[in-house]
Structure formats: C-alpha cells, structure tokens
Copies of this chain bind each other. A is one copy, B any other.
Amino acid sequence: MAKRPPGESVTADAVAKKVGLSRWTVARAFKNDASISIATRKTVLDAAEELGYLPDLLASALASSRSRLVALLIDDFENPHKLMMVEALTKGLQSKSWDVLLVNTPTEAHASSALLAARQRRVDAAILIGMYFAENEISSVLSASRLNKVVVFARTSESDDAISICCDDVLAMTEMTDHLLERGYRKPLYVAGPETISTKLMRQETFMSRWQDKRGVTPPSARVAKYSPNQAYEMLVGRLNDLPREELPDVIVCENDALAIGAIDAVRYGLGLRVPQDIAVSGFDDIGLGALPSYGLTTYRQPLDRMVQALLDLLDGGNADRGPIPGMLIIRTSTAQK
C-alpha cells in the first residue's frame, strides 16, 4: 500500500480511538436519526472536527448503496433558461446534501452512454433537463441499468420509467394567448423550436387551438432547428423581408425567450421596424436578458422554485407527483398596446 503523508485520510477509526469509543458510534454521531446520547455525539463531533474527519462518501455509498449523488444531463448550454434551471437545481440539491454530477450530452448517443456512466458512479437519480432526444432511447438504457429514478425536468415525459416535473404549459400558453388577443393583435406568427421538443411542450398546440377558438382562424407558424437567437433572426429576416407591409404579422409568438430575443433583433435590425409599434413579440421562460429595458420582453415565468421543490420531495422518498405546476405571465413592453 502506498504510504500516505500523515494527516491525510482521517478515518472513523482514528476518531473512535481518540475518544475511546467504537467506529460505529462515530458513524452514529454523523447520522441525524441515530440512537446516540447527546453527550456522546458532542464528544465525537468535537474530536472529529479536531482531527479534520469527514465521512468518506464513496465508502458510504459502497456500503449502503445510496450515494446521495444525482446526475444532471444537459444538452444545450446556449439556452439561458436551461442555465437558470441548472443554477436552481444545484442550489436546491446542495441544500439537501445532494451532490451533482454534471453530464454534457450534446447528442443522443452521448445521452445513452451518459446514463451508463452515471450508473457506474451509482447515482441515486438522473435528471434530464428538457432534452432534445427521444425517450425510447432512454427507456432502453434504463431497463438495462439499475438507475432508481429518472426525472425529466421541464418537459413532459411519455415514458413510464421517467417522472416528469414541469410547468403547466397549457395553462401558460392559454394565458399568453388571451393576453395577446386582449391587446388586439390579429395577425400572429408562431415561431417553434426543434420538432422533437415542440411536440412535447404543448405550447404550439395550445396557442393554435386557442386562437382558432377565439378568432376562427389558425395562425401560420415557422420553425427553427435550434433554440438560438441567431437562428430565429436568420429565419425571420429571410421569411419576412420581402413581404409587403400589410402581410407582415403584428405579433410574433415565440416558443421561448431565446427565439424571442432573436425575433426582436430581426424586427429592429433586419427589417428596420419597431417593437412593439410595428410588430410585437412574446417569449417564454423569462430569462434575464428579456428584462433589459431594450427588450422588455413579455414572457411566461416557469415556477422554477416549486419545480425544484417538487424534485427534492421526490428524491427524498416522496412520490408526490403533483402534475404540472402553474407559472406566471410577465407582461412587459414588447406587447404594449398598439
């Protein structure tokens, strides 16, 4: 065995020896609901602090088969809203003593191997942050692995193996649509993101059917391959640039804020028009950039705090499947009265 410099790798045995108790008593001092006298616990903890002892989570996981580690799979670092989610999730998880294994899964292939890698680390759960890829792929990996819990965050899930925690998109988009109708817009253009996701979000369907119900016509829509401002910009300029003024939409309804930011720039710098006077724009997610005075983006804020809380409840044994959670419509200047 390699000799370690003294002072390194302080074990429970060392603490036990120091206080003249057994290793198991030391372990109990670090467990919240253990049967141990208050005095003993204090003795142990004091000695532990003095020696610089902290339980080894690897050994703990090995022995207990609970690692208190979760894998966070993310496939798109350019979408600011995903990062808000990562931030909220890490903060919430850490507050409950969960550690986070971050896995960058740019493609479906990565996602499968990522789940396997997570298994090798014995994570207690895997959390997919609104991912692009199809779920049948996931399911097959899951059935072959021993991942206890798989949570799809901020998206609905079709898989029985996965639990979904998400915002109530139908309610959200209904509110948004009603807001736009109330403001008097008549010629909307819906801008959707990647097909695989859009179909799961129910935003487009909700908007379309609600508008149809109220106004009797189904609005046109466009799609970009990625949730990126640049792609929305290019697509919209290409599509709208040659249109006569009267054929332009009076509001561009975007599936999320990343697209909406690109849409606002496209209207202003690509078409040379004003937002909202010539064309209004709405988004979804409430990213920080949209709150800047220059954008003043009307959007829908997802209930991140409650979603994170639901996740924590779920991880700690609760099976509180409360269904979709309502968020909040944020009205700013980008849909100001015409």
Copies in the complex: 2
Choose from B62, B83, B99 the contact partner of A117 (Cβ within 8 Å).
Answer: B99
Choose from B99, B144, B229, B261 the contact partner of A101 (Cβ within 8 Å).
Answer: B99
Please encode chain A, from 38 to 56, with 1 for each CB lying within 8 Å of some chain B CB and 0 for all others. Answer: 0000000000000010111
Choose from B57, B77, B87 the contact partner of A84 (Cβ within 8 Å).
Answer: B77
Interface size in chain A (residues, C-beta < 8 A): 59
How far does the alpha carbon of A54 sit from the alpha carbon of B84 in the complex, in Å? 33
For A87, list chain B residues within 8 Å (CB): 77, 104
For A78, list chain B residues within 8 Å (CB): 288
For A55, list chain B residues within 8 Å (CB): 120
Contact B99–A104 (Cβ < 8 Å): no
Q: Are A229 and B67 also in contact (CB < 8 A) when A54-B120, A59-B62, A77-B87 are?
A: no
Contact B83–A94 (Cβ < 8 Å): no
Choose from B56, B80, B229, B292 the contact partner of A292 (Cβ within 8 Å).
Answer: B229
* A207 interfacial contact with B, CB 8 Å: no
* A90 interfacial contact with B, CB 8 Å: yes
* A9 interfacial contact with B, CB 8 Å: yes
Contact B104–A102 (Cβ < 8 Å): no
* A233 interfacial contact with B, CB 8 Å: yes
Choose from B8, B80, B84, B269 the contact partner of A293 (Cβ within 8 Å).
Answer: B269
Choose from B4, B61, B77 the contact partner of A86 (Cβ within 8 Å).
Answer: B77
* A167 interfacial contact with B, CB 8 Å: no
How far does the alpha carbon of A291 sit from the alpha carbon of B261 in the complex, in Å? 13
Within 8 A of B (CB), among A117-147: 117, 119-122, 144-146
* A198 interfacial contact with B, CB 8 Å: no
How far does the alpha carbon of A219 sit from the alpha carbon of B120 in the complex, in Å? 56
How far does the alpha carbon of A116 sit from the alpha carbon of B100 in the complex, in Å? 15
| A-B CB contact pairs (8 Å), 22 listed | A8-B146, A54-B116, A54-B120, A56-B62, A58-B62, A58-B121, A77-B84, A77-B87, A78-B288, A83-B83, A86-B102, A90-B102, A90-B104, A94-B103, A99-B101, A99-B117, A100-B101, A229-B289, A230-B288, A261-B289, A265-B292, A269-B294
- Please name 14 further chain A to chain B contacts, defined as beta carbons within 8 Å, in addition to the given A77-B83, A100-B102, sorted by A numbering: A52-B145, A55-B120, A58-B58, A58-B62, A58-B122, A59-B62, A72-B102, A77-B84, A87-B104, A90-B102, A94-B103, A230-B292, A261-B289, A270-B293
Pairs A-B, 6 closest by C-beta atoms: A102-B102, A90-B104, A265-B294, A77-B87, A269-B294, A8-B146
